[in-house]
Every structure is written in structure tokens, then in C-alpha cells.
A and B are shown apart, each in its own frame.
Chain A
Amino acid sequence: MRAYTEKIREIARRLLEACTVERVLGFRRGSVPMMNAPCFVKTPAEAANLVWDSNCGINLANYLTSRSEKIGIFAKGCDSRNIVTHIIENKIRREQLVIIGVPCHGMIDRHRIAAMADGEIREVVEDENNIIVQGDGFKKVHNRHDVLQANCAVCTHRNPVIYDELVADLVEEPGDVDRYRDVREIEALSAEGKWDFFDDLLHDCIRCYACRNACPLCYCPTCFVDESRPQWVGKSQDPVDVRTFHFLRAYHCAGRCTDCGACERACPVGINMRVFTKKLEKDCLEKFGWEAGLSLEARPPLDAYRPDDPDDFIR
């Protein structure tokens, strides 16, 4: 993916020099290992700050909501699907965007790598297949596939689905991926088992709302948790309120979530809240044959009625 960076800078410079766009949305090198920061590049000279590697996990579509300028945006598979969703939901217009597709090899899980390290990590570099972690008195080489972010490990849409140009050739989409093993395991639990599972899952939540705010789908001007009249959810750390937040937020993402993993990546306390959205994603796929963000033309399942919609849950 190293070659990506050069290409990305070149494209950004070209777009800005030609005034094709006013801004380019990409990543710059972060201040700590395995952390890149989203940035808005405004001049051709600043394009030299752009980078691309396995630490570009933030979903850039999150930064497009209700913007009015003409924007160039670098988009992985998941970013591109959220751009599609944004366009369908009228949060941005297609004409405003120059989408530069970035075929993705998967982003790495910095929390997991840090937990696997034998000390403080000072530097992380990568080559085609390996992630090389160096720290105080140790060096570790991980195979990229072993340290992918959980959602990237089961991703079946690595290539952008919508783009004006590409940074590199399309990558091969993984064929035999079992996307929903974890969801099936939870489905198999008893009601009581499920209750306990989610109790434990959410035990550490501090309601910082990083999951919500990192999510490109969560753009409501006032989130339901912030409403005071009526107040739908208590604001304390009461477990029922914490659960209500996660569970209702997930439902708001039904048929829209692309499993980009932004929520999990942002979570400061390591909650695997994707199990909520993945269940809904699975239901959408199995019951409606729907995967979010693949097409500008098709209407989302919760947005359209079809006579053959499944209704066996209704008596």
C-alpha cells in the first residue's frame, strides 16, 4: 500500500491545481503509532501531507454531512458505500464529489496490536504482508491478516463501489468469508443468555458517544439520547439506559450500516458494539437481499414496501 501514498498526493495536487475541487479529504500522519488523522487539504502544497497505510480506518464519509463545497475524497470500499448512503439520504450531492477509490487491503486493529505487544510500542511499519511492531526492547512481526480490524477481516467489499478514478488496480474480493459467525452464536443463546451477554458486552461503556459520533449514519441534529422533551432515555450510567442507547442506535442504522467498523475503532473501552448492527445487517441480507450502499438507484428496505416483504412475524 506504500505506493498508494505517492499516487494519492499526486491526485490531490492535480485536483486542487486544476480547481476541480475546493478541498480534498484524506489522512495525514498521526502523532502516535498506528494513528492517522483525517484532514482537509486546501492547497496543492498541502497535498504532500497526505498518507495512506493500514491506519486509515476512520470513515471519511462522516465528514461530508451537509457540506456545501466541492470535495475530493479518498474512499475505501466501506467509505464509498457510506458515500452512497449519504447521497441517497440527501446529505451530500454526487456532483459535489470527486471520489477517488482506494482498493483496500484491510485496516489494522491498533488496540489489539497494543495489547499483544510486550511493552510500549514506539514504531509500527508495514510491508505488503506484514506489520512490524517495534517498542522498548522488543520487535514483533505480525501477518497482516492476523491483526486486521474485526470488520476488515470479514469484509467482502474492499473495492470502492462508486468512484471517479482509482488509486490502484482493484483488489480481489475475498470469496469464502463467514461474516456472521458471531451473530449466529448469539442468536443461539437463550433469552436469558442473550440478556447476560449484552450486560457483559456493555459493562464498560462510558457513554462518551464516540461510536455514535464516529458513525457516518449518525448525523441527526439532535440524537434521541439528547432530547429532553420527551426524554426517551435516562442520562446516567444505569445499565438499562446504557443498553437502550446502544440498542436504539443500532436500530437507527438498520439497512444503512455498511459494517465499516468506525464505531468499534473509536470506542475507548473496546466494546464490540458491531454485534448489534451486524445482526440487523444479517437480517437485511437474509430477509430483503439487501446490502447497504451498493447502489445509488435501489431504495433501502426500510424505505420501500414490496408485497413480498417478509411478514411471518406478524400475526
Chain B
Amino acid sequence: MKVIYIEKAQWASGLEKAGDSFRLWGPVRRGQFYAFEELAGGQVPALDFRNTRLSAKGLVYPQSEKMFEYTLDPGQPDHDLLKEAQKDYSPRAVLGIRPCDADAFELVARNFDTPEYQDPYWLRAREAVTLVGLACAAPCSTCFCTSAGSGPFSTKGLDILLVDSGGNFLAQVATPKGEAFAQAAGWRQPADDAAAAEIDRQRQVAEARIDSHVATERLRQQDTLTLHAAPFWDDVAFACINCGTCTYLCPTCWCFDIQDETHGRQGVRLRNWDSCMFPLFTLHGSGHNPRGQKVQRVRQRFMHKLKYYVDKYENGIQCVGCGRCVRHCPVNIDIRKVCELMNSYTLAGDSCAVVS
């Protein structure tokens, strides 16, 4: 993979230059945490963060977005017809996204880009964005990306991966989109052979610092109904308050709701993030609710991520190990522990089934 040098002295000026052809987003400190915000001209992203509170999911898949516009005014020729909302899909770049969050876009694409249907909003936004990642030299205690298919230096989903090496960034240019961004920023100094070795050295150090892991190797072979009926769900779910924190902070949760909002005679059809934690998510018009109880909803979240997804795509778990849900769950429900329960679960008595 091509590696270029970006002297830190050229970082800000490069971004300014890239700003001519890209809208730029990056982490900005807000109070006690960091959030992705659009950068004003000349503003540089704050790269001293461990990770942003919210993932970069919303930059491609906004929490609320317009799908269609309409008028209900019978005097208008196109009344009651939905028209595609005009949206800005001009080129943009996200600076400083963590590799785990970038990998999440690859994962979520499996939901939004299918052989039968393509979600035009997600795909256009994804196409418009260039991801300039920042390698994770100091992973958090709750990070388990290496056992969730990603890693602190993973380039999956990224167009450029920046590795901090003191006075400059070593930038791995992973895609043509990344190449175009580097061009726009005027960063073109090729790195020498030592750069790749330096990146590899740093990667090994960072990976070794991750001491949190999940075992997932048995999830596939577990029987769905057996896991579904496992007795541990009551205990896992007891403390859950059914808020949407885990799902909204998660870079790989993709569920949404569609709503019409009319003001006067004009209106919009919107889509909003939704959460399997909310009872309303599955409530039938008749009042029947197939997941009306908390334990059913908590089970759904974990079964989806760690069993249904695993079976459906045969491509790992629906989790990149960013650890946000672990850090921010108000009642400390820890996906790592649940994964362990699910992965290691055996029906009582199974161990006795030894062939004599």
C-alpha cells in the first residue's frame, strides 16, 4: 500500500487546500467529550481524542433525514405526490475517524446495499464521503476491535489511514478516493521504505495493548432456538432500562423509522434512527407486540448482532469492538460478557453426551 509523508506543518494548510473541493468533518471537543462536527475554514480537527462519544455513523446516515417532500395543496399540480428531497451529496471528507468506525461502514453496507434493493440515501452519502482515518495508538480498556474483525490500524473502509510518527503523519493511501484527497490537499511526498516498517511496528504495539477480547468461534454452530431459550437472558436484561444509548452510539446499528411530518400543507417524509430497545419498534396496530417485554428486546439486540447476523452474512459479528456501548450503557450491560455467555453456552447435560 502506498505511503506518503504529511509533515505536521503542512497538515493545516493541506486541509485548507482540500477544503476547496471537500466539505470537512472532524472531531471537535465539546465539554467533556469529542464529537464530529463540520470544520470551518482553517479549523483543524482535534486529534488528541481517544474516541468520539458518538460514532461517525451519522455523517453518512443522519439520525434524521428527509427522504421526500410533498404538498397537500390541491391547487398544486403535483399535490399528494412524493418528490425526492434535494440533498447535498457533494464530496466531503471525515478526518480522524477511528478504524473501527470506518470498518462499521463496510459492515452496514451489507444491510443497505443488497442484490435486490439499494438504499439510495445511504449509498449516495457513502459514495460522497472520503474517510481519512487516524490509527489508534492508545486503545481504550473497553476496545476489543481485534477480536471483532477490525483493529487499531485496520484500513478496512478507510481511504487514508494516518499514523502519527512524531513530526509527521505516515499516511497509508488505501483507495483512489484517498489518492484524490491527498492530491487535493497537496500531500504527495512519498515515504521511504522505513515508513511501512514503522507503521507495522506501531500496529503491533497498539494491538498488543488491547487486552479486551471476545470469543466468537462457536456462535455460528450454536442453535438459534437453544440460544433464544437460554436462561441467562433474564439476568442479562434485568438492569436494562430500555433506553437507546447502546443502539444510537453503536456504529453498526442501522435500524430506522419512517415518519411523515406535515406543516400547513407542506410536508416531508423523514427517516429517523430507531432502536430495538423501544417497545414501539415492534408494536402491531392491533396492540399485539411480539417483543413487548424488556427481556425480549434485550435478547433481540444481542441475538441480532451475535447470532442472526453471523448466520445471515457469514462474515463475523455485527460489531466492530469500539466499546461505546460498554462505556456508556447507564447500567453496565456489557456486550463482551453477553458474547461470552452466548459463545460458550451449552445445554445442561450436553457434556455427558460422550460416546463410550
Contacts and interface: CB of A to CB of B under 8 A. Distances in A.
B53 A234 contact: no
A1 B21 CA distance: 59
Interface string B73-113: 00000000000000000000000000000000000000000
Interface string B21-53: 000000000111101000000000000001001
B127 interface: no
B141 A235 contact: no
A31 B336 contact: yes
A62 B33 contact: no
A210 B334 contact: no
A288 interface: no
A265 B337 CA distance: 23
Contacts of A204: 30, 35
Interface stretch (B156-164, B166-174, B191-199, B323-331): B323-331
A37 B243 contact: no
A68 interface: no
B242 interface: yes
A234 B239 contact: no
Interface residues of B, number: 44
A56 to B, nearest CB: 12
Interface in A1-52: 30-33, 35-40
Of the listed residues B241, B244, B328, B337, the one surrounded by the most CB atoms of chain A closer than 10 A to its CB is B241
Given A39-B238, A208-B245, A265 B272 contact: no
A237 to B, nearest CB: 4
Contacts of A36: 332
Given A32-B142, A120-B140, A235-B259, A37 B241 contact: no
B257 interface: yes
Interface string B123-162: 0000000000000001011100000000000000000000
A214 B243 contact: yes
Interface string B225-249: 0000000000000110111110111
A111 B32 contact: yes
A35 B31 CA distance: 21
Interface stretch (A78-86, A148-156, A165-173, A266-274): A266-274
A236 B337 contact: no
Given A206-B63, A238-B64, A266 B32 contact: no
Nearest to A212: B243
Interface residues of A, number: 42
B272 A32 contact: no
A120 B53 CA distance: 14
A12 to B, nearest CB: 16
B141 A37 contact: no
A266 B270 contact: no
Contact of B270 (A39, A236, A269): A236
Contacts of A268: 53, 245, 248-249, 328, 330
B261 interface: yes
A274 to B, nearest CB: 15
Contacts of A62: 241
B141 A120 contact: yes
A179 interface: no
A31 B257 contact: no
Given A31-B334, A58-B330, A270-B31, A213 B241 contact: yes
A194 to B, nearest CB: 20
B4 interface: no
Contacts of B180: none
A104 interface: no
Contacts of B140: 120
Given A206-B248, A236-B272, A268-B53, A31 B31 contact: no
B332 A35 contact: yes
Nearest to B328: A268
Contacts of B272: 235-237
Given A208-B245, A214-B243, A38 B331 contact: yes
Contact of B32 (A115, A214, A234): A115
Q: Which 8 A-B pairs have the closest CB atoms?
A: A266-B330, A210-B243, A236-B64, A208-B244, A30-B332, A115-B32, A213-B241, A37-B332
Given A62-B241, A112-B32, A209-B278, 9 more contacts: A31-B332, A31-B334, A32-B334, A37-B333, A207-B63, A208-B244, A214-B243, A226-B278, A269-B54
Interface of A: 30-33, 35-40, 58, 62-63, 111-112, 114-115, 119-122, 136, 204, 206-210, 212-214, 226, 234-238, 265-266, 268-270
26 contacts: A30-B334, A31-B326, A31-B332, A32-B141, A33-B141, A36-B332, A38-B331, A58-B330, A58-B331, A63-B239, A111-B32, A119-B138, A120-B138, A136-B138, A204-B30, A206-B63, A206-B248, A208-B244, A208-B275, A213-B241, A214-B241, A236-B261, A266-B241, A266-B330, A268-B328, A269-B53
